[in-house]
Amino acid sequence: MTRVATLERAGPGAIAFLANPRYASQLATTHASAVIVAPGDAQRTSLPKLVSPTPYLAYARIAAVLHPPVTPKSGVHPSAVVDPGVTIATGVSVGPHATVAAGAVIGEGASIGAGAAIGRDVRIGARTRIDARVVVYDGCAIGADAIVYAGAVIGADGFGLAEDEGRWLRVPQVGRVIVGDRVEIGANTTIDRGAIDDTVIGDDVKLDNLIQIGHNCVIGDGTAIAGCTGIAGSTRIGKRCRIGGAANISGHLSIADGTTLGGMATVMSSIEKPGIYSGAYPLQPFAEWRRTAVRLRHLDKLAARVAALERALRGREEGER
């Protein structure tokens, strides 16, 4: 085997996998040289097969072997600007036009992509990959074996403002962002530095593209968050949570370990008991949605009428006793 592919597009030399039953019919027509299947699907094909109770996980491990990441050549590109006060371990790569400010420490085997900006006193762990045009602001720290994809911004000021007679006064954001080991931060995701205490991203957290994480948030180990999610400041999300795309999470609340939020879920108060929660209104044809929206506007009046009827009913029942 030389590569991985889908059942539909695989050719000779490729290994494909079946994890979703809706693609089971493609086992009969695939041109893959081998397939990965669950035990219940093993008899559906005569191709050479790897039988696994978790085909997708097996595929992921095989894909990592057949398609290893490209390791950039170590050394500092001539166009990069690296302050003399930077500590750089062995095997580090600093790409074209990258900047690394005084006091930064870059761990062994780490790479800094083209045009990336690493601020003062930043810590980058061993083998961590910082892609092109990433910005890591002063004082922030990223652990070992992390990946930060292009355009991410770590440690910009949070949205800290105080009102002063009709005008907004910016509140200095003096905390940092602390990112753990084996974290992945998607393209153009932003993580604000803490207002006073640090914003903390735990070990093995996986963040998709275009996520906003506000100041002083804490994201627990092993949590995965899909794209376009917005998390307001001072929110604490537990360990091993799964958060669907475009979720909206208000600030100053907590979410229990092991919680799953569906896509577009809106969280306005703390979730103390783990479970699966969904808050998005189901899709409807426009005409139906419009009627539903009109009815929703009358819910307060309807609730008041129901309460009045209940009071009248109780009064009648008490009068009949």
Catalytic: which of 77, 215, 252, 298? 215
Whether 215 is catalytic is yes
Distance between CA 145 and CA 181 in Å, rounded? 6
Q: Are 224 and 204 in contact (CB under 8 A)?
A: no
Q: Are 169 and 151 in contact (CB under 8 A)?
A: no
In this structure, what are the phi and psi dihedrals at residue 49, rounded to the nearest 5 degrees?
-140, 150
Q: What are the beta bridge partners of residue 276? A: 260
Segment holding 161, helix H or strand E:
strand 161-164
Question: What separation in angstroms does the CA of 245 have from each of 41, 225, 249, 260?
Answer: 31, 7, 12, 12
| Dihedral sign from CA coordinates of 305, 311, 315, 316 | positive
Q: Are 193 and 155 in contact (CB under 8 A)?
A: yes
- Nearest one of 258, 286, 289 to 272, comparing CA atoms: 258
Catalytic residues: 215
